[in-house]
Amino acid sequence: MAKKVMKFGGTSLGSVERILHAANIIKKEQGQGHQLIVVVSAMAGKTNELIGHSNLISKKFNKRELDVLLASGEQASSALISGALNDIGIKSKSWLNWQIPILTEGEHNNARIVNMNVNDINNYLSQGGVAVIPGFQGISKSGDITSIGRGGSDATAVAIAKIFNTDSCEIYTDVDGVYSSDPNKVPVAKKINKISYEEMLELSSLGAKVMQSSAVQTAMMYDIPLNVKSTFTNRDGTKIFNQENIDYTKTVTGVAYSKDDAKITLIGVEDKPGVAADIFEPLSKNQINVDMVIQNISADGKETDLTFTIKRNDKEQAVSLIKNNTKMKCKNIQMDDKVSKISIVGAGMVATPGVTYKMFRSLAEEKINILAISTSEIKVSVIINENNTMEAVRKLHKTFNLD
């Protein structure tokens, strides 16, 4: 008998029929003698619907009240799943975030789970019950409902696996595992049977939508094995393990892309110690995450051009902060929000020379210009014109034999 976390995403719960189907999957697992904690997302489209309602009221809807509003989506799913399980003869009970409680810290809309009470749920599991918990949310020390970011149900599932010391954490979604690229856009993409935490973390942070990057990071920190499976097929999923499972024979594991980036270039910045810190300090204080950074120094060494990328939603605020920054001066500010980030990821890059050249040559053959570059041991990312996104993804997918 094993203790398991089973997390069901929004597409797995997108209708009453799908909720009933998920309930039958849970019934089958319990029939094998497992103790089960089920974590649920809101039904597909529900979170966006709630955000739409808040936007109609105010474009600056209060963050505390937005968390209260959004948390209702997962709470509804919890009740529906638990009700469905009881109806088919499985003892089940839902717990809301404040009933456990799930303790969080951090600001509204971006909190993180720090602990939760395990006693009541463990007692319930020992009595043969299935515990159902809403993902994506918790409660602060002051008693406010908090959310932990879009896709946060994955993070909830992994946190529960750690705190309850479960034997496994299974993520049920609408695809039967992790693919070498988005199978909806690249039909020849291959399913990856096994992948390391490091590779999965890079893919999820670079735009792959199968798992939230913070959830993968938590799993990696505490060595919690993950299994991504389909709610709708019986095929084997993708197992996500520690470094011992890295396949160094495969140069590139996958190609990821994101189309929510913007590129900002500061022209004619005075080149002196501390200028980069002065530029990025106000962005950091306003929770704007900077990704790629490229610096070009003039021939006389007196000025520099600085290019960096941020999320597209932050572009207006970032430009405003730069213009009002009295600690630095530049001759001009250029912003391009019609860009995308294309990345190749693979543990085999560490031991394989020429991967970067091969990537750049492939893009050149398609006459795709590279605007910015970022690298790590197992990743190469480039910024290109947004119009060339899928052309670049398909070319790289073919170049590295992933079709």
Q: What is the pTM of this model?
A: 0.80
Residue boundaries of the structural domains of the chain? 3-174, 255-399
pLDDT value of position 247: 63
Tell me how long the chain is: 403
Distance of CA 114 to the CA centre of its chain: 19
| Mean pLDDT rounded to a whole number for the chain | 91
Six-digit token string for 287 = 């929770």
Pairing of the two strands 168-173 and 226-230: parallel
- The predicted-structure confidence for 303-343, as pLDDT tens digits, reads as follows 888 999 999 999 999 999 999 998 888 899 999 999 999 99
Nearest to 209 by CA among 280, 257, 274, 146: 257
Is it true that domain 255-399 has CATH number 3.40.366.30?
A: no
Q: Rounding to the nearest 10 degrees, give the CA dihedral for residues 174, 180, 181, 184.
A: -40
Is it true that domain 3-174 has CATH number 3.40.1160.10?
A: yes
Residue type at position 367:
K
Six-digit token string for 28 = 């089958």
Q: Rounding to the nearest 10 degrees, give the CA dihedral for residues 278, 281, 283, 288.
A: 140
Give yes or no on whether 3-174 and 255-399 have one common fold: no
Neighbours of 357 (CB within 10 A): 9
- Cα separation, 308 vs 96, whole angstroms: 41
From first to last of its 403 residues, the chain has per-residue pLDDT tens of 799 999 999 999 999 999 999 999 999 999 999 999 999 999 999 999 999 999 999 989 999 999 999 999 999 999 999 999 999 999 999 999 999 999 999 989 889 999 999 999 999 999 999 999 999 999 999 999 999 876 689 999 999 999 999 999 999 998 888 888 888 888 898 888 888 888 888 888 776 677 888 888 888 888 898 999 999 988 889 999 886 656 666 789 999 998 889 999 999 998 888 888 999 999 999 989 898 888 877 666 688 889 999 999 999 999 999 999 988 888 999 999 999 999 999 888 877 888 999 999 999 999 999 998 888 888 999 999 999 999 999 999 999 988 8
